[in-house]
Each structure stands twice: as structure tokens, then as C-alpha cells.
Amino acid sequence: MEKIGFIGLGIMGKPMATHLLRAGHSLNVLKTSQASKEMESMGATLHATPAELARASEVVITCLPDSPEVEAIVLGQEGVAEGVREGMLYIDMSTIAPATARKVCEILTAKGVDCLDAPVSGGQAGAEAATLSVMAGGTAAAFGRALPVLQKMGKNIVHIGESGAGQVTKACNQIVVGMTIQAVAEALTLAKKAGVDVARVREALLGGFAQSKILDVHGQRVIEGNYKPGFKVKLHRKDMNIALQTGRELSVPLPGSALVSTQMDALIARGEGELDHSGLALLLEGLAGL
């Protein structure tokens, strides 16, 4: 089985890398990583730099917070790009700007590396249960090669199109999720202030065209006032920024996305950026005096 280098052992990356170890892959991780000691005790090998880690691997996976981190780790000094060889596979599972994904892919492709942007959806719970949804962009060859590896971390794995298409799809996903939460928040806040039983409203709406996974799961959170993450507002805000930036680059107006971003800014300004993104309802409830 391929030797895999995994960079980014955060709340998502750590359980994902653990699944690969348990499936029998030799795993290379960075010495500087917070979780490195724990991963070493499970059998991973530590490396000083991304370049050294890449030299010891056949597949390199990154799962990092944002575009600048991916650029630094892959294209920076002693970065992944300095350690890759022809015939390797690179999978970026971070959520970053499509433009950055394409740039990184171009540079690595020129070195003979198969590249895939493969951002995920499903959060910490999905990472731990290996049930993440994966939206992939890259060549059919890169996708075919990555699929058996991705299947150890996720379930609904879709090849969308060429390089960057995975990140575009993830941006679309975050637009829809963010705006649907805002929709549910506005509806339930109105019902609550009107003195109507919000649980029955949720139930009635789930039976018709207003049905959504968000109304089901986050609607229940709003009713219970349970804003423990889940997926943090500040992380979703970052993803909305990627969507808005991509909209600007492509001259696509995204008025609803911009509004939801602003609502998230307001929540963060109140010091509630660590809450679950369904906390958007809390902002409205505050404004409505509830």
C-alpha cells in the first residue's frame, strides 16, 4: 500500500490520517505538528519539513485552514514542491480558493505530479466516522488513483470536473448551507416572536417545499438553543469569503451570500465566532429582543 504523507493534523485531518494508518498505509507526518507525538505512537514517521516528508512519500495529502497555508506548505521554502518526484499524487483536502487550487496544481503538474483538489463536507463527525462527502477536481487519472485513498475517509465521493472544480463546488456548498441557515433562522425567529410553537412550524415545513437537511438538523439546534459546534461560524465565514472572492473574479453577483457573510461578521464581532454556524439565529433573536 502507498506511503502517504499527511500535512494538517487538525480536528479534521487527525481523524482522517488515523483512518489511513488503520487501513495499513505507512504514514509520514510533520514533526512540527501538534498531533505528531500521538501519530508517532500509532506508527507514523516524523519529518522536519514538507519537502522531506514528500521525498519519503508516494502520495501527499494536505488538509489546511486556508489558501495562504496551502501556498506556503506546498510552494514555500522546503515545501512539498521541492520534494516531489514524477509519478506522485497530490491531494489537497483543504477548503481554499479555486484560483489557488489551480495555481498549485499547475506547478505540481509541471513536475509530473497527478493533482486533485478534494475538499470535504461533513465536519468533525464525518471525519471521525469516515463518512465525509468529497468534491473532487482534477484529471480522470488523478481521480482514479486517489479514489481508493479517499474511500478510506469518505463515502459520497464525486468527481466534478477539472482542476479547481472541487473547490468551486465546495464554495457552492457553503453558499447554500449558509443561506439556508439564515433562511431557517429568519423563519423560526419570526415564529418565536409571534408566539407560535416553533417545533410545530419546523415539522410542518419539513413536509413541503421548505424541506432541507438544514431545517431538519440546524432547525432543531435553533429550537433547543444548542450552538455548540459542529462547524464554527468563523470557519464558515472564511469559506464565504472564498465564495465572494470567486464571485468577484468571475463577475458573478452574490447578494445573498454577501448578506450572510455580514451576519457572520456581526456574530463574530459579538465574540461568538466559536459558536456553531446555526448561531446566526442567535444574532436575529438578539435584534428581535428575544
Give the residues lining the site for a copy of itself (CB under 8 A): 98, 121-122, 133, 135, 156, 158-161, 164-165, 168-169, 171-173, 175-180, 182-184, 186-191, 193-197, 200-201, 203-205, 207-215, 217, 243, 246-247, 250-257, 259-260, 263, 284, 287-289
Quick one: 28 or 121, whose CB is closer to a copy of itself?
A: 121
In the complex, the smallest distance separating the C-beta of residue 124 from a copy of itself, rounded to whole angstroms, is: 13
Closest residue by Cα to residue 25 from 60, 52, 63: 60
Looking from the CA of 260 toward its CB, the CA atoms found within 13 Å total 32
Quick one: 141 or 196, whose CB is closer to a copy of itself?
A: 196
Catalytic residues: 170
In the complex, the smallest distance separating the C-beta of residue 243 from a copy of itself, rounded to whole angstroms, is: 7
- Asked if residues 88 and 28 have their Cβ atoms less than 8 Å apart, the reply is no
Quick one: 35 or 160, whose CB is closer to a copy of itself?
A: 160
Residues ≥6 apart with Cβ < 8 Å to 105 = 90, 115, 117, 138, 163, 164
Distance, in Å, from the CA atom of 198 to the CA atom of 224, rounded to the nearest integer, reads: 10
In the complex, the smallest distance separating the C-beta of residue 99 from a copy of itself, rounded to whole angstroms, is: 10
How far is the CA of 2 from the CAs of 18, 26, 135, 148, in angstroms?
Answer: 15, 7, 22, 11
Quick one: 54 or 280, whose CB is closer to a copy of itself?
A: 280
Q: Which residues lie across from 116 on neighbouring strands?
A: 91, 138
In the complex, the smallest distance separating the C-beta of residue 14 from a copy of itself, rounded to whole angstroms, is: 21
Q: Which residues lie across from 28 on neighbouring strands?
A: 5, 45
